[in-house]
Structure 1
């Protein structure tokens, strides 16, 4: 099994045709019917008669499972599935808002308004309070600031991680409320 990197897609490469080095395989025909355990030569002959490829689907099984298929069509379908999955995947970005322990109420309201705009776009907000110098002795003030900030957003947001200290910063994560 190999990994092939094609643009942004990672495709699991299967061993096909002459790359297969096992004496016998459990063969699956092109229509999905189980043929049974056959020698590798017989499986290769059947694939050649059908003008298709023999691909080793499960090399670690006892005996290994091989399938007769159009390998290029299989790879094309795999790439298409990955592209569709990537298109449907939801990306969430995290934006940070910084506060200080001695911030005024009006400034908290303005920063909360900006955070509300971010949360309405279904993104997360990291709110951090930075302590400088002697402010480190008053960590309770930082927690109060974070609590006031969250009260402003409690109607549209929920806390995803509680306030915690990280060096000189206390931070918490806020995410949109789930329905």
Structure 2
């Protein structure tokens, strides 16, 4: 069984991005895929900002990344870029922290003018971490996120395309297990 880690990069406790991450976790779990949801805003700020990977909470978060077969990066869009909170976390990962993993970059934002923040800002950082496969990025308009908590639903204009991207991600998860890359064996 695959293990997927959803990493939410929103600093807000009322984040739509985080709710989308919860929604995706429930969807994948319903398909028999083990999921965890790492909310970066809950990590201690001082160790996170100083890249103190020895801090127990930060070390536990890095270990979650290491164990995962797939990563979904969920970030709000601020100033036409992914969140600084996500950037700080990605910066403290080892050079090949995504080695052998399938990765789905996902962003939320108020305007389609920010769509390219994923491919021009986040994708190069993700690629530098050595993933096996990065699926098509997905940008979700805030106004397409409907409902609350477990009742979250998506506007039809976003629901179907997100389904397509999730299907790509699931296929990527079925690829070579991450333990078999970079000289590691299963």
Shorter-chain TM-score above 0.5: no
Structure ID, larger Rg: 1
Larger relative CO (CA 8 A, sep 6+): 1 or 2? Answer: 2
TM-score (normalised: structure 1): 0.31
Larger helix share, 1 or 2: 2
